[in-house]
Amino acid sequence: MRFTYVTLFPNLISPYFEDSILKRAKNNKKIEIDFKNPRDFTKNKHNKVDDYQAGGGAGLLMYPQPLCDLLNDLKKKSPHVHIVFPTPSGKPFRQIDAKRLAKKEHIVFVSGRYEGIDERVIEEYAHEVFSIGDYVLTGGELASLVMSDAIARNVKGVLGNENSLDEESFEDGVLEAPSFTKPNIFKKSAIPSEFLKGNHAIICTLKKEMSGLKTKYFRPDLFLRNVKGK
Ligand code: ADE
C-alpha cells in the first residue's frame, strides 16, 4: 500500500511513521509513504497557494491551479490512485471504510489548510470525501493520518497478529468487550471469575453479552443500528 500526502506541511505527518507499528510496516515495505507539496506547483513570484473567498467570508481558501497541476501530474504517473479529501463536511469515516480502502494499491490524501479548498477541485478530483468527526481541525493533516493509520492496520502483514482484527470494536457493529490482564485483583476489583476458569465457550458468550451492554450504554446509536435490528 502506498500513501501519498498532498500537504503544505509534510512535517506534521512524517514523524508518525518513525515509531512503533507503522515504522516497522514502512521498513518491511508493507506500506510506503511520500509527500507532494502544492507550493512546489505555484506559478507566482511568492509561491502563494491561497486567495480570498468569492462573495466574501472570513479566511483564505486554497485556489485551484497548484492543486490541479499537482494532482494531474500524480494521475499521469499513477493512473490508478484513489484520491481522498478530508473535510468536516464529508461523510463519516468508519471502520468499514478502513477495511475497504486497505485493499487499494495507492491512496492520495489531499489536506486543506486555511479555510479549506475551492470546492471545484474536490468536485473534479475526489473519489471520496471523509470527515473524521463532528469538530473542525486546523487542517486535513491529522484527519489524513487518522484515516491512514486505521487503513494501514488492515493491510496484510502490518499487524503482527491478524487475529486481533476479528475481535476488536466495530467488528459486527459493536464495541469490543472489556479485557483484563494480571493482577487478578486490582484495587479491590476482580477479573470476572469465568475468565480465569478457561472455558472458552463460556468466555465467548460472556464477552458477547458484555459487548452488547457496553455498546447499548456508550453508543446507543450503534446499538440501535446494529444490535437491535439483528
Ligand atoms: N479537516 C478539518 N476538520 C476535519 C474533520 N473533522 N474531518 C476531516 N477533515 C477535517
Contact partners, residue 158, CB within 8 Å, separation at least 6: 21, 22, 25, 30, 31, 152
State yes or no: pLDDT of 178 exceeds 90. Answer: yes
Ligand 1 centroid–CA 28 distance in Å is 30
Atom 5 of ligand 1 has which residue's CA nearest to it? 88
Q: How far apart are CA 51 and CA 100, in angstroms?
A: 36
Q: What pTM, to 2 d.p., does this model score?
A: 0.94
- Cα-to-centroid distance, 2 and ligand 1 (Å): 22
Percent of the chain as helix, strand, coil, to the nearest 5: 45, 20, 40
Please identify, by atom number, the ligand 1 atom nearest to the C-alpha of residue 132.
7
Range 176-202 average pLDDT: 96
Average pLDDT, stretch 53-67? 96
Residue nearest to atom 9 of ligand 1 (CA): 87
- Give the per-residue pLDDT at 161: 77
Q: Would you kindly state where each structural domain of the chain is located, as residue ranges?
A: 2-152, 167-227
Kindly give the distance from the C-alpha atom of residue 142 to the centroid of ligand 1, in angstroms, as a whole number: 8
**pLDDT tens digits, 204-219:** 999 999 999 999 999 9
The answer on pLDDT for 73 being more than 90 is yes
Which residue's alpha carbon is nearest to atom 2 within ligand 1? 137
Atom 6 in ligand 1: residue holding the nearest Cα: 88
How many other CB atoms are found less than 10 A from the CB of residue 196?
11
- Residue 168: pLDDT band (50, 70, 90) is confident
Ligand 1 atom nearest the C-alpha of 135 is 6
pLDDT higher than 80, residue 228: no
**Residue 223 C-alpha to ligand 1 middle, in angstroms?**
25
Residue 89 CA, ligand 1 centroid: distance in Å:
8
The whole-number average pLDDT for the span 138-153 is 98
Which residues lie across from 35 on neighbouring strands?
5
Residue 36, all three cell numbers: 507532494
Ligand 1-lining residues (CB < 6 angstroms): 86-88, 131-133, 135-137, 140, 143
Please state the separation of Cα 121 from the chain's center in Å. Answer: 21
Query: Is residue 16 within 8 Å of residue 145, measured between CB atoms?
Result: yes
Q: Which of 8, 87, 97 to mutate to test the pocket of ligand 1 (most atoms within 8 A of CB)?
A: 87
Cβ pair 147, 98 in contact under 8 A: yes
Residue type, 99: K
**pLDDT by residue (tens digit) across 97-140?**
999 999 999 999 999 998 999 999 999 999 999 999 999 999 99
Q: Whose CA is nearest to atom 4 of ligand 1?
A: 88
Q: What is the mean pLDDT of the chain?
A: 95
CA distances to 28, 52, 102, 215 from 109, rounded to whole Å, are 22, 24, 14, 31
Closest residue CA from atom 10 of ligand 1: 87
φ/ψ region of 117 (left if φ > 0, alpha if ψ in -120 to 50, else beta) reads beta
Q: Chain centroid to CA 4: how far?
A: 14
Instruction: Report CA(45)–ligand 1 centroid distance (Å).
Output: 30
Q: In CATH, what number does 2-152 get? A: 3.40.1280.10
CA distance 165 to 184: 26
pLDDT at 230 over 60: no
Q: According to CATH, what is the number of the domain 167-227?
A: 1.10.1270.20
Predicted confidence (pLDDT) at residue 144 exceeds the cutoff of 80: yes
